[in-house]
Amino acid sequence: MKTLARLGLAAALVTTTALPAFAQSDEPFRIGWTAWSDAEFVTKLAERIITDELGHEVELIQTDIAPQYLGLQEGDIDAMLMAWLPTTHADYWAEVQDDVVQLGVLYTDAKLGWVVPSYVPEDEVASIADLADPDVRERFGGTIQGIDPGAGLMRLSEQTIEAYGLDYDLITASGAAMTAALDEAIRRNEWIVVTGWSPHWMFGAYDLRYLDDPMGTLGGAESIYALGRQGVQEDFPEISAFLMRLNLPLDELEAAMFDAQQTSYEEAVDHYIEQHPDRIRYWVTGESEG
C-alpha cells in the first residue's frame, strides 16, 4: 500500500495561481482526489472556493483511493473529500482512523450497486441472484464491467461474485471506461451489468436501475466524509472550518455532475456557485442570511 501511495502521490499536480493566505500555513493546501464524477465535482468546487474566497493556494493531487488514505496518515496530503463510510472504505478506515480526523459529512444517502439498463427485462433479471441463470449469463457475456482496482466497490463486487456463486469475470477499468462501455451497450441495445453508485451523472443520462441485492453484500446507505491529516485544523483553521460546513444535497450534486458532462467541471462549478450564493456564504463564513 505504501508503494501505491508513493506512486500515486507522484501523479500529475494541478495547481492554482498562488494568492496570499490568511493567518494559517503559507504552504499550499493539498487535496487528494480520484477521477470519479462526484469526487471531481466536489473537489474542484472546494478548490475554487478555497482559492477565490479564502485566498489560499491549492494543489490537487490525483491518485487512487488507497494512496489517499495512506497519504493522510503520513501527512503527504492535507485532505481528501471522498471517504465512503461505514462500508465501502471500511478496510482503509480501519487502518488509519486513529491517525486522521473527520472534518464533516459532504453528502448522505449515497449507495453502491450493480446497474443494468432498464430495457433488461425485470421479470428475467431483478436481482443479483438472477445472474446465475445460464441463459442470463450468456446474454451478459459472463462479464461485469467494473472500475479502477483500488475502489471499495470493486472489493465488494468481488465478494458479491463469491457470495452469490456467480461465474462472471469482473472487468477492471477506469470510471470513464465503465461509462463508455455502458454507453456503447445502450446504443446497441445490448445487455450489460456495470458497477455503479449514487450520486452519478449516468442516472441523469440513461434509463437505469439497480439490481436488488438480497444478501446485502454491496452494503446499504453510505455517507461521504471529508477527512484531514492530523494537525490540519491547527495549520489551516479557515480551510478546515469551511470543509466542516461543506455539505451538498444529493439532488443538487447529481444535477451539477450532469451539468459537468454537458459542459465541463469548471463550468459546472461556476454555475453551482452562481446559483447558490447563500450556501457558499455559509460554507465560507458560517453565517446564514437573516
pLDDT (tens digit, 9 = 90+) per residue, 222-252? 999 999 999 999 999 999 999 999 999 988 9
Lowest mean pLDDT among 19-23, 91-95, 143-147: 19-23
pLDDT band at residue 88 using 50, 70 and 90 as cut-offs: confident
Helices (H) and strands (E) in the chain, counts: 13, 10
Q: Are residues 83 and 20 in the same domain?
A: yes
Give the integer Cα–Cα distance in Å for 71 and 195: 26
CB-based burial label for 280 (10 Å; 0-12, 13-18, 19+): buried
| pLDDT at residue 47, rounded to an integer | 98
User: How confident is the model over 154-182, as pLDDT tens digits?
Assistant: 999 999 999 999 999 999 998 889 999 99
Q: Are residues 103 and 12 in the same domain?
A: yes
| pLDDT at residue 289, rounded to an integer | 59
Give the integer Cα–Cα distance in Å for 9 and 4: 8
The Cβ-side half-sphere exposure at 124, using a 13 Å CA radius, reads 14
| pLDDT at residue 37, rounded to an integer | 87
Q: Are residues 105 and 123 in the same domain?
A: no
Q: Are strands 143-145 and 208-210 parallel, antiparallel or unpaired?
A: unpaired
Question: Does the residue 153 lie in any domain?
Answer: yes
Q: Are residues 98 and 238 in the same domain?
A: yes
Instruction: Judge whether residue 103 has pLDDT over 60.
Output: yes
Q: Is the pLDDT higher at 26 or at 138?
A: 138
- What total of structural domains would you count in the chain? 2
Say what percent of the chain tops pLDDT 90: 77
| pLDDT at residue 143, rounded to an integer | 98
Instruction: Give the mean pLDDT of 41-62.
Output: 97
Lowest mean pLDDT among 182-186, 192-196, 251-255, 261-265: 251-255
Q: Are residues 196 and 132 in the same domain?
A: yes
| pLDDT at residue 10, rounded to an integer | 46
Q: Are residues 278 and 249 in the same domain?
A: yes
Check: CB of residue 15 under 8 Å from CB of residue 57.
yes
Q: Are residues 34 and 127 in the same domain?
A: no
| pLDDT at residue 23, rounded to an integer | 55
Structural domain that includes position 23: 2-109+221-285
Question: Does the residue 20 lie in any domain?
Answer: yes
Residue in the structure block whose three cell numbers are 472534518: 103
The β-bridge partners of 31 are 60, 79
